Structure 1
Amino acid sequence: MNNSSKKRNISTIIILAIVLLVPGFLYIALNKIGSNQYLKLPVYGEKTLSGKINRKMGREIPDTVFHQVDTIVLWNAAGEQVNFLKEDSVISIVHLFDAQDEGLSKTLLSSLKPVVERFKNSKKIKFYSISINEKETTENLVNIENLYAKDFPNTWFITRTDTAIFDFVHKNLLIDAHRNADSTYSFSNNYLLIDTQRRIRGFYDINQNKEMERLEDEIKVQVVEEIRNNPLKVEQK
């Protein structure tokens, strides 16, 4: 057999090897890493291992227990009870305010309105503006609702508690809020994004440029994650 015939045989073997091996390699690669190649938001708060092992695609993955926000009873401007975070198919955006505050509270409420408008037709997304003033009057809440949330009765909830909310805010929402010596209130300038499992997935500082754009974008990212993980539960709502 001359050299040219040997070279042709070697070339044929190499081509056959590529044809046979590459599809198998691609299949394995896609199964190993392809399923995770989409944007996923971080989970904030303390994380612990449960001691259980989950198996995914042949791999053993330690089960992680993430920080979850507790449910709480709130009251809306009409004096009706609102069960905050009780629904397991709703993504929630939350911020604090005081109806008598003309500074930070007004900015947080005003800046949120365009975001609520963007998602007003989605049953999977709700917005909660929670007053930290336990003495907030119904009249004050009604005024805030009429100024900002009147057009979004099924999406944007202006609420208060009937007891001090500070412990709940610190331990669950992981942000600051307190009453000052002069009876005014100080509180976080962040919006929080909370997923259907009551886990915090984002903080958005109103004082930072483009944070409202990031909030809009990451709400969309979270919607996609929820649909991927729980397609029937989310889509049926």
Structure 2
Amino acid sequence: MNNISKKRNISTIIILAIVLIVPGFLYIALNKIGSNQYLKLPIYGEKVLTGKMNRKMGREIPDTLYHHVPSLALVNAKGDPTPFLNSDTVVTVVHLFSAKDEGLSKTLLSNLKPVVDRFKNIQKVKFYSISLNEKELNVDLASIQQLYAKDYPNTWFIVRPDSSIFEYVQKNFLIDAHANPDDTYSFSNNYLLIDTEGRIRGFYDINQNKEMERLQDEIKVQLVEEARNNPLKVEKK
């Protein structure tokens, strides 16, 4: 019986040690190794070190200037100016299309609709479908707006530029777009995800499987990052 009691006592001591020591060890390990680590999307484009250092969470981090997409003058289906990337509180999804194209353009518009529907009640997320036809009659945009985006007037904007934007697209969106001799357009089959600072955080190729699911997931990831970085920032309307 004494041996049994001793074994029970030893077992009890071991269990108590585990209960007391392991949580403390895990806490220290998490703070030392995994503190403040969460999923962040990459930032695309050229990066330039300024030579300065920023202190964050007790650590020195090199100050970096990232590729930035500037605002652009766009026009909606009614011919009214539509702001694009002029707010520092909006996460933006954008893609190109041609109002006369029934192929890639139609697919890009159709495949975006479920994503827009998923985030239709989140005013922080905006979607822009930009037609490359800067001289297109507004009636063409109006028909596309009616077909795809009529249920999302505050979220999904069917727009065109007020002048040629090919240089802008190639320089800032980092994708290809150009006019062909036969009055058609060649352009990227990607959607872009742009954060509130105008930085490109994702490219999503419509030809690759499950890219639309990845786009939805990474919009959520970006919203979490924005909330962490700007917990007190009030959205501008």
Deviation at 1:232, TM superposition (A): 1.7
Amino acid at match of 1:97: F
Identify which range, 23-32 or 146-155, moves more after superposition: 23-32
Deviation at 1:223, TM superposition (A): 0.6
Asked if 2 retains the 8 angstrom alpha-carbon contact of 1:226 and 1:234, the reply is no
Deviation at 1:33, TM superposition (A): 3.2
Deviation at 1:104, TM superposition (A): 0.4
- Once residues 21 and 202 of structure 1 are traced to their aligned partners in structure 2, the CA distance between those partners, rounded to angstroms, is 40
Deviation at 1:23, TM superposition (A): 3.9
- Once residues 22 and 115 of structure 2 are traced to their aligned partners in structure 1, the CA distance between those partners, rounded to angstroms, is 50
Task: Give the aligned partner of residue 146 of structure 1.
Answer: 146
Q: Deviations over 1:153-190 (max 9, x none)?
A: 00000001121110110011000000011110000000
Deviation at 1:82, TM superposition (A): 1.0
Asked if 1 retains the 8 angstrom alpha-carbon contact of 2:96 and 2:188, the reply is yes
Report the CA distance shift for 1:110/1:23 in structure 2 as closer, same or farther (over 3 A). Answer: same
Report the CA distance shift for 1:21/1:142 in structure 2 as closer, same or farther (over 3 A). Answer: closer
In the TM superposition, structure 1's runs of 4+ consecutive aligned residues that sit over 6 Å from their partners are 19-22
Q: How does 1:82-231 map to 2 (within 5 A)?
A: 82-231=82-231
Task: Give the aligned partner of residue 31 of structure 2.
Answer: 30
Task: Give the aligned partner of residue 233 of structure 1.
Answer: 233
Q: List runs of 5+ in structure 2 lacking aligned partners.
A: 1-12
- Give TM-score scaled by structure 1 length: 0.87
Deviation at 1:59, TM superposition (A): 2.0
Asked if 1 retains the 8 angstrom alpha-carbon contact of 2:73 and 2:162, the reply is no
Report the CA distance shift for 1:161/1:228 in structure 2 as closer, same or farther (over 3 A). Answer: same
Identity among equivalent positions (%) equals 65
Amino acid at match of 1:149: A
Aligned alpha-carbon RMSD (Å): 2.2
Amino acid at match of 1:81: P
Amino acid at match of 1:33: G
- The 3-state SS of whatever aligns with 2:69 is coil
- Once residues 137 and 147 of structure 2 are traced to their aligned partners in structure 1, the CA distance between those partners, rounded to angstroms, is 16
Asked if 2 retains the 8 angstrom alpha-carbon contact of 1:41 and 1:222, the reply is yes
Amino acid at match of 1:148: Y
- Once residues 181 and 233 of structure 2 are traced to their aligned partners in structure 1, the CA distance between those partners, rounded to angstroms, is 47
